[in-house]
């Protein structure tokens, strides 16, 4: 498939290329909008010029993982009309590329309005002569990505806002190679999103013209392809650990529980203990501070349930089940939520071991995003696995898998809790990752250690890598101004630490084009009494591709720590100081 640059922006594009004014577009929109709620909102707010400009003065674009925005009327928000416009553009590009006969498959999550948007998209594609199927109930995103491969379809559309705020919705688009669309394909689809002729209900096929896929059959096909079954040795005993520790699991009111239950059973794992009030899909996410397992407090109910049952392992999927979060007790008994890099290193270590199976020599390949920690890269180098650093987003992380068809795919990850443990799905997949982490936990328990102790062992092997992340919610204009200032007048020091190197990923020497600035620091000056020339510090800064916030990624590396635990505390304090100094750059003046 095609490659190109990454915009790094999720904000909408000004609608200046269209001939209608925002007020004229509002009138046209109101005539054809099929949703009574958004029509009422337009009627109630149309007299407010600032509201009209915000809703109708710009058009959503594809960001890191599709389109996402608050639900509401107009082309700058997610709604049924906007999904019809996008689906029509996808269909036109599919036909132009010669993939129309391969068909399309559509899925949706449990957020309010997702099903209506998905059926609109499916019926519009069918009316264009594209054979289209739709999963008939809310389903995890990995199931849609798997169906695309299983059916050799030309495109896949998934209506989901993943882990975004509860009032958001979104649309992910996959292409014939099985991955999410990348530039320049996404820009071509955007160019076909015609607002001058809004799609009406007359342009939709009848529902019976869309093939209905039973969600239970879709789950079964996914589990059969993506989940490893137990392996038994010559003595009839399982090679994989089947005595895994008890697990508490939460779907965070998303769509993961049913699929995870089937996946665990197929893998020969005992069922987890479910957080009952978060087990079933509810797109309003009642009782959750935020539907994102990365956010503080989100796993509180799961941790409390684990304490009630004396369980030391919590697994969580985000609402569309393409991410995995893990929490374990630390050495003092407090809960430690593994960050994305810690979890990535543990899974990579485990999966490399699985691929060391005595089969004929075949190259092994893995990948991670540039903003993720580099401990996985060091681990792969030590184990003889080719590793690729990519732009942010799984549409890029899976690219090395496509580029090396003769190699065996080991692992891909991004620090935002996205993991690929199988190439049966060419996207991040929180369900199959949960299965493998459960097995990993069992293997560690058989040795009498836990995940944190294994991280210390790996640090002694390949160096201690301590990572952290911070995000600052801000107006997109504030973020853009701060990024421009960073490029025009880069800092000489950060929190009193000298900046030794700056890489602008929009510059001519960047490996790829992306709205990203990477800085390297000397942790102390040469004249300092605690001067340490071995410690390496790296910072990556970029606008979020899915939400209005700036994201800051930090990593400190100590190649040969004498005392891993003490050094971990020192590096964490160093990163905390640097994160605080960088975050203020994005505060409004």
Written as six digits, the tokens of 270 are: 């005992």
pLDDT band at residue 509 using 50, 70 and 90 as cut-offs: confident
Residue the block writes with tokens 């605690």 = 530
CA distance 20 to 30: 14
- What residue segments make up the domains of the chain, in order of their start? 13-220, 340-460, 464-586
pLDDT in tens, 178-206: 999 999 999 999 999 999 999 999 999 99
**Cα distance between residue 63 and residue 39, in whole Å:** 27
Please determine, for residue 348, whether its predicted confidence score (pLDDT) is greater than 90.
yes
State the DSSP string of 37-73. Answer: HHHHHHHHHTT-HHHHHHHHSEE---BTTBEEEEB-S
Which two three-digit tokens encode residue 208? 């019976």
Region 340-460: CATH code: 3.40.120.10
User: Looking at residue 514, what is its pLDDT?
Assistant: 86
- Specify the pLDDT at position 65: 79
Minimal CA–CA distance to 179: which of 428, 348, 4?
428
Instruction: Specify the 3-state DSSP secondary structure of 157.
Output: strand
Structure tokens at 425: 């799905």
Confidence of residue 4 (pLDDT cuts 50, 70, 90): very low
Beta bridge partners of 162: none
pLDDT cut 70: percent of the chain above it: 92
Q: What does the alpha-carbon distance between residue 296 and residue 289 come to, in Å, rounded to a whole number?
A: 8
pLDDT given at position 487: 93
CA count, 13 A, side-chain hemisphere, 213: 27
Lowest mean pLDDT across 204-208, 361-365, 397-401: 361-365
Q: What is the pLDDT of residues 46-73, one digit of tens each?
A: 999 999 999 999 999 998 778 999 999 9
For the chain, how many helices (H) and strands (E)?
A: 18, 23
User: How confident is the model at residue 254, as a pLDDT?
Assistant: 97
CA 482, CA 476: separation in Å to the nearest integer? 10
| Token pair of 50 as six digits | 């600032």
Tokens of residue 423, six digits: 């190439």
pLDDT tens for each residue of 324-339: 999 999 999 999 999 9
Q: What angle do CA 498, 500, 502 make, to 5 degrees?
A: 120
Cα of 540 vs its chain's centroid, Å:
18
pLDDT in tens, 244-282: 899 999 999 999 999 999 999 999 999 999 999 999 999
Considering the domain 464-586 in this protein, what is its CATH number? 3.30.310.50
The DSSP result for 543-587, as a single string, is E-SSSSEEEEEEEEEESS-SSHHHHHHHHHHHHHHHHHHHHGGGS
Segment 141-165 mean pLDDT: 97
Phi-psi region of 297 (alpha: psi -120 to 50; beta: other; left: phi over 0): left
Mean pLDDT of 297-325: 97
pLDDT at 239: 59
Q: Could you tell me what percentage of the chain is helix, strand and coil, using 3-state DSSP and rounding each to the nearest 5?
A: 40, 20, 40
Residue-level pLDDT at 19:
73
Strand partners of residue 558: 464
Q: Which of 162, 257, 432, 544 is catalytic?
A: 162
Q: Across 333-379, where does the E strand assignment appear?
A: 335-337, 364-369
- In this chain, the answer to whether the domains covering 13-220 and 340-460 adopt an identical fold is yes
DSSP line for 234-298? TTS-BSS---PPP-EEE-TTSS-HHHHHHHHHHTTPPPPEE-GGGTS--TT-TT-S-S-TTSTTT
pLDDT at 587 over 50: yes
Structure tokens at 265: 């059973």
DSSP 8-state secondary structure symbol assigned to residue 360: S
Q: Is it the case that residue 14 has pLDDT exceeding 70?
A: no
State both tokens at 170.
Answer: 């979104």
Quote the pTM value: 0.92
If pLDDT is split at 50, 70 and 90, which confidence band does 11 have?
A: very low
Dihedral sign (CA 328, 330, 335, 339): negative
Residue 405 has pLDDT above 50, yes or no: yes
Q: Judge contact between 370 and 338, C-beta under 8 A.
A: no
DSSP 332-343: TS-EEE--HHHH
Which residue in the block uniquely carries the two structure tokens 């893995």? 366
Percent of the chain with pLDDT over 90: 81
Domain 13-220 fold is Alpha-D-Glucose-1,6-Bisphosphate; Chain A, domain 3 (3.40.120)
Q: What CA–CA distances, in Å, run from 577 to 494, 496, 525, 571? A: 9, 10, 16, 10
From CA 142, how far away is CA 569, in angstroms rounded? 37
- Residue 117 sits at φ, ψ, to 5 deg, of -60, -45
Angle among Cα 356, 362, 363 to the nearest 5 degrees reads 95
How many residues does the structure list for the chain? 589
More confident residue, 389 or 509: 389
282: Cβ contacts below 8 Å, ≥ 6 apart: 110, 253
Residue 573 has pLDDT above 80, yes or no: yes
Q: Give yes or no: 162 in active site.
A: yes
Mean pLDDT of the region 369-398:
95
pLDDT class of 12 with cuts at 50, 70, 90: low
Strand duo 536-543 + 549-558: pairing: antiparallel
CB burial of residue 577 (10 Å; 0-12, 13-18, 19+): middle
Q: For residues 175 and 528, which has the higher predicted lDDT (pLDDT)? A: 175
């Amino acid at each position: 498939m095609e490659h190109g640059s990454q915009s790094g922006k999720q904000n909408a594009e000004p609608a200046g290329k269209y001939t209608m004014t925002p007020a004229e577009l509002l009138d046209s929109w109101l005539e054809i909008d099929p949703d009574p709620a958004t029509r009422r909102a337009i009627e109630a707010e149309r007299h407010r010029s600032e509201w009209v400009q915000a809703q109708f003065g710009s058009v959503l674009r594809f960001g890191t993982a599709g389109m996402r925005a608050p639900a509401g009327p107009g082309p700058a928000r997610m709604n049924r009309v906007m999904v019809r416009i996008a689906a029509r553009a996808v269909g036109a590009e599919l036909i132009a590329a010669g993939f129309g006969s391969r068909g399309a498959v559509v899925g949706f999550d449990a957020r309010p309005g997702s099903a209506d948007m998905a059926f609109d998209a499916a019926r519009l594609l069918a009316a264009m002569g594209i054979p289209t199927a739709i999963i008939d109930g809310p389903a995890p995103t990995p199931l849609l990505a798997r169906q695309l491969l299983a059916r050799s379809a030309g495109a896949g559309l998934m209506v989901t806002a993943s882990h975004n705020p509860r009032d958001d919705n979104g649309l992910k688009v996959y292409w014939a190679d099985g991955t999410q669309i990348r530039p320049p394909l996404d820009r071509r689809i955007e160019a076909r999103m015609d607002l001058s002729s809004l799609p009406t209900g007359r342009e939709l096929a009848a529902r019976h013209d869309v093939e209905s896929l039973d969600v239970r059959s879709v789950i079964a096909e996914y589990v059969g392809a993506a989940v490893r079954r137990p392996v038994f040795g010559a003595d009839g005993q399982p090679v994989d650990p089947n005595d895994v520790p008890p697990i508490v699991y939460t779907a965070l009111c998303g769509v993961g529980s049913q699929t995870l239950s089937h996946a665990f059973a197929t893998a020969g794992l005992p069922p987890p203990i479910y957080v009952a009030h978060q087990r079933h899909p509810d797109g309003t996410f009642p009782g959750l501070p935020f539907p994102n397992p990365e956010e503080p407090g989100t796993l509180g109910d799961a941790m409390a349930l684990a304490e009630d049952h004396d369980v030391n392992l919590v697994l969580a999927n985000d609402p569309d089940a393409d991410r995995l979060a893990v929490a374990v007790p630390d050495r003092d008994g407090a809960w430690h939520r593994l960050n994305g890099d810690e979890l990535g290193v543990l899974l990579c270590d485990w999966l490399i071991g699985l691929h060391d199976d005595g089969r004929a020599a075949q190259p092994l390949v893995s990948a991670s995003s540039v903003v993720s920690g580099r401990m996985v890269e060091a681990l792969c180098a030590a184990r003889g696995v080719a590793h690729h650093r990519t732009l942010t987003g799984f549409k890029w992380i899976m690219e090395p898998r496509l580029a090396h068809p003769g190699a065996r795919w080991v692992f891909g990850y991004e620090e935002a809790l996205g993991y690929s443990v199988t190439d049966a799905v060419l996207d991040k997949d929180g369900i199959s990752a949960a299965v493998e982490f459960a097995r990993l936990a069992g293997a560690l328990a058989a040795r009498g250690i836990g995940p944190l102790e294994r991280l210390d062992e790996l640090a002694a092997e390949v160096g201690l890598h301590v990572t952290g992340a911070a995000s600052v919610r801000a107006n997109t204009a504030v973020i853009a101004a701060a990024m421009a200032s960073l490029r025009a007048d880069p800092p000489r020091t950060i929190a009193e630490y000298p900046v030794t190197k700056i890489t602008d990923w929009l510059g001519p020497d960047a490996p790829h084009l992306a709205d990203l600035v990477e800085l390297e620091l000397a942790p102390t000056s040469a004249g300092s009494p605690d001067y340490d020339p071995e410690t390496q510090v790296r910072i990556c800064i970029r606008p979020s591709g899915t939400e209005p916030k700036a994201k800051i990624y930090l990593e400190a590396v100590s190649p040969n720590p004498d005392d891993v635990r003490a050094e971990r505390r020192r590096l964490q304090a160093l990163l905390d100081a640097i994160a605080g100094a960088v975050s203020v750059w994005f505060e409004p003046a």
